[in-house]
Structure 1
Amino acid sequence: MSAVDTTYPARRPTDGMLALAKDIEANHKRDAAEQSTVPAHVYTDPEYWEREKAAIYDCLPQILCPSALLPDAGMALPHDATGRPLLITRDAQGLVHVFLNVCRHRGTRLVEGVEVCAAKKLVCPYHAWTYSVDGRLLALPRPDTFPDLDKADNGLIELPSIETGGLIWFCPKENPDFSYAEKLGEDFDALGMGEQHFYRRKLHKVKGNWKLIMDAFLESYHVTRLHAQTIGPFFKDGVTSGDMIGPHSRAAVGRLEEMESVDLTDMAQLRRVVTFAYQLLPGALIIPSPDYINVMVMMPQAHDLTLVEDFMLIPELPKTEKARDHWERSWALLDGGVFASEDFRAAELGQQGLSTGAVPELTLGTMEGGIRRYHETVEEALRAAN
């Protein structure tokens, strides 16, 4: 039981979430797998990473951050970790935009820093060209010196984006297919993610391949061992099931002994006995704990270096010291303990070992089938790009 009372509005899980919960209740493992292998070079070959970058990270829709990071109109957030200078804004009507953070005059970076700021107008620090948060060029000094300039043609360059299920997605490529993002959004709406409050975020630098980080969240084989001193005991008797939403994986771990008296159609009750996890392509993870939600976004910088931004969302901002202490301990346990000291450390150790060439292929047991399926999805994206 949580140390803080959290009251959720009555919500019903989606049919897909409910189906996984009923699989667990019936002790039916939908994600059962056979022993398989994954070649080690997919983690260690710089050329393979360049192919992934071109086919996946430069082409597919991907999450930037939770909606809760920009809760109000007139907000802006510089974002550089995808390898391109982005600027996420929320305009006066509450709509989200993703622009290149580049002034149309001389290419100057428009907004500096890495924090969210209040910005009803965006003023270039070089020549004071001024834009609205919806991207329109509003004004410039000495307009008479630009007699042929049409302000309507010189707004900020906008990239395709969508806000759904409490998450902000963008795509580097024109005319993207956001249908799977919208489908996932149905689950995230059922979890109430769009109504959560931003509590903490941290950018981790992990010296490992992005897929090694994903692997830890695609199997339960390691949980009671790697996490023996942290969250492992909570999953000791767990039963798992999983399915796919397009290229994205959805998993569920339930505790059978606690499910008998639970109304599975009630989201609040369901979240107390079943832990869902979403492993998205490209690398992103959504982990709804019983009383908060973690969003982790992976932004590879090289074949052996990944930036991971972790966000913690909570149902209401703390009003008491007791509540604040509860959330701080939860944040310290997961972000500083389970993720940084355990999962991310394991990825770095794996990168070190695989880089020696000692293990030409990874052997995956029947509890690690999610890894094989995720790698098949990556390989399919690479084939589609050829």
Structure 2
Amino acid sequence: MKASFANAQGAAVARAPTSGQIRLAEQCRDGPPPDTSIISTVPASAYLCPDRFRAEKERLFGGMPLLIGPSAMLPAPGTMLTHDGFGLPLLLLRDPEGRLRAFLNACRHRGTRLADAPEPVEASQILCPYHAWAYGLDGRLKALPRPETFPGLDKAVMGLVECVSAEAGGLVWVAPGPSADVDFSLARGLLAEDFDALGLGGMHLYARRTHRVASNWKLVMDAFLESYHVQRLHRNSIARFFEDGLSAGDSIGPHMRSAVARLGGLSGVDFSDWAALRRIVTYAYQLLPGAILIASPDYVNLMVLMPQSAGETLVEDFMLIPQPPGTPEEEAHWRKSWALLDGKVFGAEDFMAAEAGQRGLESGAVPDLLLGGLEQGIAGFHARIEALLAR
């Protein structure tokens, strides 16, 4: 069996929290507490209007780097998978040297779709199923049958169409089209520093599942921007682990980062002891245009939001663990964690609430959503969306 790409390259090790991660923990411990007297509103049209949705698809999901998933989804050199969730037919490849590339999943001959591989498969080349044009894992056209019937064909200019991509911090980002001019500096910079601290680049992909959620994508994101619901919606799952409303947040460019304190308090915790800090603080990242990363004490969930319409969103949930299970006891532990988060907390609670919210908004009963003092992260998120749409 091939070694994973992360292990082959030297697995990333979580050595210490970044200064930003420590600062959020200090705010949870020392304050000042957030001003919970603030009230604001968000118009229901932000979730319902088809024209608004089209603008978001064009300006946000068509103009910003798209987070596709963790590096671990392509674990070894010489593997590939396909991705269609954003409406862009992508072919993701890891070449023999381990470099990740992203191409449009279309043959340069007559546009035939080259592959269907939602799960990673080993590949030494890409062969068009229609006329057997053959491409290397670097995208170059290697060979074609009956080349004499294409006189003057320059194979050097007939390679697969590539989309600019970036792999950093254990995550894969892709430009939303071959001609898109997007900035990957945060993905390679401050965000990557935080995710390297979490050790994402060396983690093992334990499980992944795609949920079809009957709601606007922003209602899914909203659930991870406030802690007001934790003791209520999650009362039968994870509420017992967390303090009510004890959180802090900041931003990295347009992206948001938050920390929620677990029961037990931060008093006496050595913040330089990363393992101890993660046991008492859960970090979450709300990444625009649409992804959520949650760092639990010993594993990470990454959710990628792929809007399909104003009222429907695909959410792909990835669970990353430090290393593959080595014993039946370890397998049972991770299986239980996956069932708790993906099956109950996200699937049966957060996504259910988003769907219920969508149905309520579509009734016309609530022209404006009321946000209380513990929900102002949602207000900040919508303000960012407005600013990006206005550019």
**TM-score interval, smaller chain:** over 0.9
Correspondent of 1:317 among 324, 327, 335:
324
Structural mapping, 1:137-216, within 5 Å: 137-172=141-176, 173-182=179-188, 183-216=190-223
TM-aligned CA deviation for residue 9 of structure 1 = 4.8
User: Given the superposition, is the C-alpha separation of residues 32 and 266 from structure 1 closer, same or farther in structure 2, using an over 3 Å criterion?
Assistant: farther
Structure 2 residues without counterparts, runs of 5 or longer: 1-11
Distance 1:174 1:93 in 2: 26
Deviations 1:226-272 (A, max 9, x none): 00000011113562100000000000012474422321022211101
Distance 1:281 1:65 in 2: 14
Q: Give secondary structure in 1 for the equivalent of 2:315.
A: strand
Given that 1:40 and 1:360 are in contact with CA atoms closer than 8 Å, whether structure 2 keeps it comes out as yes
Q: Which residue of 2 aligns with 1:5?
A: none
Q: Which residue of 2 aligns with 1:226?
A: 233
Q: Give secondary structure in 1 for the equivalent of 2:76.
A: coil
Q: Give secondary structure in 2 for the equivalent of 1:278.
A: strand
Task: Pick which of 70-79 and 142-151 moved more.
Answer: 142-151
Q: Which residue of 2 aligns with 1:299?
A: 306
Report the residue type matching 1:322 in the other structure.
E
Q: Which residue of 2 aligns with 1:93?
A: 97
Deviations 1:12-39 (A, max 9, x none): 1111111111111213336867210000
Check if 1:60 corresponds to 2:64: yes
Check if 1:27 corresponds to 2:28: no
Distance 1:196 1:321 in 2: 19
Q: Number of aligned pairs? A: 377
TM-aligned CA deviation for residue 211 of structure 1 = 0.1
Structural mapping, 1:93-112, within 5 Å: 93-112=97-116
Distance 1:275 1:301 in 2: 30
User: Given the superposition, is the C-alpha separation of residues 138 and 29 from structure 1 closer, same or farther in structure 2, using an over 3 Å criterion?
Assistant: farther
Given that 1:237 and 1:255 are in contact with CA atoms closer than 8 Å, whether structure 2 keeps it comes out as no
Distance 2:318 2:153 in 1: 42
Check if 1:353 corresponds to 2:360: yes
Given that 1:161 and 1:168 are in contact with CA atoms closer than 8 Å, whether structure 2 keeps it comes out as yes
Check if 1:244 corresponds to 2:245: no
User: Given the superposition, is the C-alpha separation of residues 44 and 141 from structure 1 closer, same or farther in structure 2, using an over 3 Å criterion?
Assistant: same
Given that 1:11 and 1:268 are in contact with CA atoms closer than 8 Å, whether structure 2 keeps it comes out as no
Check if 1:289 corresponds to 2:296: yes
Report the residue type matching 2:167 in the other structure.
E
Distance 1:9 1:225 in 2: 36
Q: Give secondary structure in 1 for the equivalent of 2:75.
A: coil
Aligned-pair RMSD on alpha carbons? 1.4
Q: Which residue of 2 aligns with 1:371?
A: 378
Structure 1 residues without counterparts, runs of 5 or longer: 1-7
Report the residue type matching 1:59 in the other structure.
G
Q: Which residue of 2 aligns with 1:4?
A: none
Distance 2:156 2:35 in 1: 53
Distance 2:125 2:216 in 1: 39
Report the residue type matching 2:198 in the other structure.
L
Report the residue type matching 2:185 in the other structure.
S
Q: Give secondary structure in 2 for the equivalent of 1:264.
A: coil
Q: Give secondary structure in 2 for the equivalent of 1:168.
A: strand
Given that 1:205 and 1:307 are in contact with CA atoms closer than 8 Å, whether structure 2 keeps it comes out as yes
Given that 1:212 and 1:350 are in contact with CA atoms closer than 8 Å, whether structure 2 keeps it comes out as yes
Distance 2:385 2:273 in 1: 35
Distance 1:326 1:164 in 2: 29
Given that 1:49 and 1:302 are in contact with CA atoms closer than 8 Å, whether structure 2 keeps it comes out as yes
Task: Pick which of 197-206 and 137-146 moved more.
Answer: 137-146
Among all aligned residue pairs of Structure 1 and Structure 2, give the percentage whose two residues are the same amino acid.
54
Runs of 4+ deviating beyond 6 Å: none
Distance 1:31 1:180 in 2: 29
Q: Which residue of 2 aligns with 1:3?
A: none
Report the residue type matching 2:361 in the other structure.
L
Correspondent of 1:332 among 339, 360, 372:
339
User: Given the superposition, is the C-alpha separation of residues 301 and 176 from structure 1 closer, same or farther in structure 2, using an over 3 Å criterion?
Assistant: same
